[in-house]
Amino acid sequence: MSWQVPAFVRLFERLGGFARLISFDKRGTGMSDKVEDWFSLEVRMDDVRAVMDAAGSERAAIVGASEGVPMSVLFAATYPDRVGAMVLYGGFARMLWAPDYPWGTPEVEYVQQIADERSRSDQPGADEEFARSGSPNATTEEIAALARYLRYGATPGAYSALYRMNMGIDVRDILPVVNVPTLVLHYAEDPWVSVDQGRFLAERIPGSTYLELPGSCHIPSLAEVDTIADAIERFLLDSWDTDGWADTEEDRVLATILFTDIVGSTARMAEVGDAEWQVLLQQHNALVRRQLTRYRGRELDTTGDGFFASFDGPIRAIRCASAIIEAVSKIGIQVRAGLHTGECQQVNGTIGGIAVHIGARVAAEAGADEVLVSGTVKDLVVGSGIRFDDCGLHELKGVPGEWHLFRLVTD
């Protein structure tokens, strides 16, 4: 269907004229099978990496458009070794309004938009109306082609699920972690995503280039596509030298930190004696390591009766923490777990930085058989089906400010 939309064909030809082009569709859209539930940013990242591996693409420029921007940001921060450069077009870091993010859509208004779009989906001319709202400068023929693309690109149910997932996205805390060359493109009068959201992205991604284009456009028509393609081509060719992509600071990565700790270990040791405690501790360690392997965690340290590990995705980290609690309970041990996602420094085979200290402090706030996470972790697992209870604001020892913590809900 993309090849029936003139502007998309022109964009593909322009990008394919100077680079190898790999086009990616999310699960549940395009030619992929239908899905029961929508998928998190972490699953999308896994899919992008799988597509790159299958295509033999070790490192690429990532071009994220609209709601594809948050996933692109997360991917570049998590896998800087796979991203040579990044272009963000018409995107946002957060969809909903917040006191410190006034450009987002109020939640009540956004929920109503979802309902309105669903109710209009079967009305004559609804797809054309929707296409025109995002591409106001397109010709009648272009609108007809774009409407067909939107109609067949996903089911109304899939669109609704996508909108609901986007409602919870918030990658603001991740923007400062991005350390690949980045171009932010945004139309000054974008009808779907406020230009202030594009400016916000550029202001918080270190060293990014911001290009604000005059006019009203979100989905490019033939009238705009060459302007966009020119900007992308100039930026990507400038970021490429005779030896390929410039080296990035791969010692700085986004990671999810997990700390676990046995609850009441001293009392338990006194109860069972040193010899039996050592047997229990060895069993505990083996069970924890089994779950770390299962969920692709990287063991970084074992201190007494606790573990320190890192993950490349918060969902895997949460599920690992929950699985650890369940596994060690079978040998009569209770543990607490805490998680935080943030920028980490890789040094001599381990990682450090403020994110590690925050993860440790979050764990210290947890009770027996509890998994506590920071607000950053909660925001990044939208669409996963993972649920939390709000634990309010906490002061974390040695960490400035107050931190919003959430408790994992287990069935």
CA 21 to chain centre: 22
Give the pLDDT of residue 391. 95
Per-residue pLDDT tens for 145-183?
Answer: 999 998 888 777 777 777 888 888 899 999 999 999 999
pLDDT level of residue 250 (50, 70, 90 thresholds): low
Q: For 306-317, what is the mean pLDDT?
A: 95
Give the pLDDT of residue 251. 77
Is pLDDT above 70 for 38? no
The length of the chain is: 411
pLDDT level of residue 37 (50, 70, 90 thresholds): low
Ranking 10-19, 53-62, 158-167, 179-188 by mean pLDDT, the lowest is 158-167
Instruction: Identify whether the C-beta of residue 296 lies closer than 8 Å to the C-beta of residue 312.
Output: yes
Per-residue pLDDT tens for 332-366?
Answer: 999 999 999 999 988 777 888 999 999 999 999 99
CATH superfamily ID and name for 2-245: Alpha/Beta hydrolase fold, catalytic domain (3.40.50.1820)
Q: Where are the domains of the chain?
A: 2-245, 252-408
pLDDT level of residue 249 (50, 70, 90 thresholds): low
Q: For 34-56, what is the mean pLDDT?
A: 86
Is pLDDT above 70 for 286? yes
Q: For 266-291, what is the mean pLDDT?
A: 91
Give the pLDDT of residue 348. 76
Q: For 374-390, what is the mean pLDDT?
A: 91
pLDDT level of residue 411 (50, 70, 90 thresholds): confident
Question: Percent of the chain scored above 90 by pLDDT?
Answer: 70
Question: Domain 252-408, what fold?
Answer: Alpha-Beta Plaits (3.30.70)
What pTM was computed for the model?
Answer: 0.87
Is pLDDT above 90 for 263? yes
Q: For 237-266, what is the mean pLDDT?
A: 83
Averaged pLDDT score across all residues of the chain = 91
Per-residue pLDDT tens for 96-120?
Answer: 999 999 999 999 998 888 887 767 6
Question: Percent of the chain scored above 70 by pLDDT?
Answer: 97
